[in-house]
Amino acid sequence: MSEATIPIQVEDLRAKASRELESVPDLDGLEAWRITYTGRRGQLTQLLRGLGALPSEERREAGAVANAVRAALEESLAEREDQLKRAAMEASLSADAIDVTMPGWPVPKGGLHITTRIVREICSAFASMGFTTVEGPEVEWDTYNFEKLNIPKGHPARDMWATLWIDHIDEDGEHPMLLRTHTSPMQARIMEATEPPVRVVVPGRCYRYEATDPTHEWHFYQIEGLAVDRGITLADLKGTLYEFARRIFGSERKVRFRCDYFPFVEPGVDMSIDCFLCDGVGCRVCQDTGWIEIMGAGMVHPQVLENVGYDPNIYTGFAFGMGPERVAMLKYGIEDIRLFYANDLRFLRQFA
């Protein structure tokens, strides 16, 4: 190697290294470049090994050039590193960028169960007529479910309610427990707990030991109603239930009351509305009768008033009980009560 060539070679090296540095694509490439040129075994270091052979004057000069080149290359390296890092960051930012014009993710929206809706609708129709909503226990004593309602042990009327008994023995074996078969036991509980006047509706779940079919479930809801005061007559019952039917089924509705038997009322009635689908002409929904039965009702039996400590010579009252699922089935044309509790979202979403 000639003495004069070292600075020239260093300059050449610098030109080559600078050119290459421009086209290093990423940080890995940058490290490879550093090892090739400015690293401990890099080309620049190799060149400088030759300096020792030069006379001291030239060595100083060439050394100064070499040091300047090393400093310049290291500075370019740092700059390029900076550039590549910034480019990488920008690339990842734009990859993660949010396009605000894209449609958003749908947020799953909950809704009320159809039974909850119809129960609320019915209770609020009665609330506007002065009825308070109360609730009661689903596990009940035989006493409240039957006896206080004028259905003594062994009475054939008990067969009207296929009962699910709870495996419970009282100390004296006297108080069998059951899943309430209707909401009527709340009549007795409310009257025992309050003085007249009473005006309540009681929504809640009931249970029966029954096979299921399109119109029967082994558990379902009822809404009980009770009004007791001085001078309440059958006309109050009719007026109140007529108003209820108009609110739920439309202002054109007619109602019909016929005699029926329930042990806790006297007289007992069943109430029907004229079919809202065919306007009473006769169709599938009303089974060609023109009428649809919607609830049982009646004047509270004097024996029931006595059982709870009310004087039947002073007070009279009316009571009624209906199945809200049945009301919803009529209102929305639902053909199978089992759909209510089968948890099929395709059914439930239609009402949410």
Q: How far apart are CA 105 and CA 102, in angstroms?
A: 9
* Closest distance of CB 306 from ligand DAH, Å: 17
* Closest distance of CB 164 from ligand DAH, Å: 14
User: Which amino acid does the sequence have at 351?
Assistant: F
Whether 44 and 6 have beta carbons less than 8 Å apart is answered as: no
* Token couple for 246: 């108009």
Helix or strand or coil: residue 156? Answer: helix
Residues marked as catalytic = 161, 182, 208, 222, 265, 319
Look-up of token digits 């809200």? 324
Question: How many Cα atoms sit within 13 Å of 300 on the Cβ side?
Answer: 36
Whether 317 and 229 have beta carbons less than 8 Å apart is answered as: yes
Please say which residue, 33 or 320, places its beta carbon nearer to ligand DAH.
320
Q: Give the residue nearest to ligand DAH (CB).
A: 321
Over its C-alpha atoms, the chain yields an Rg (Å, rounded) of: 45
Please say which residue, 76 or 187, places its beta carbon nearer to ligand DAH.
187
Handedness of CA 202, 204, 209, 211 (dihedral sign): positive
Site residues for ligand DAH per CB under 6 A: 182, 184, 224, 262, 265, 296-298, 319-321
Please say which residue, 257 or 341, places its beta carbon nearer to ligand DAH.
257
* Closest distance of CB 224 from ligand DAH, Å: 6
Whether 210 and 216 have beta carbons less than 8 Å apart is answered as: yes
* Closest distance of CB 269 from ligand DAH, Å: 8
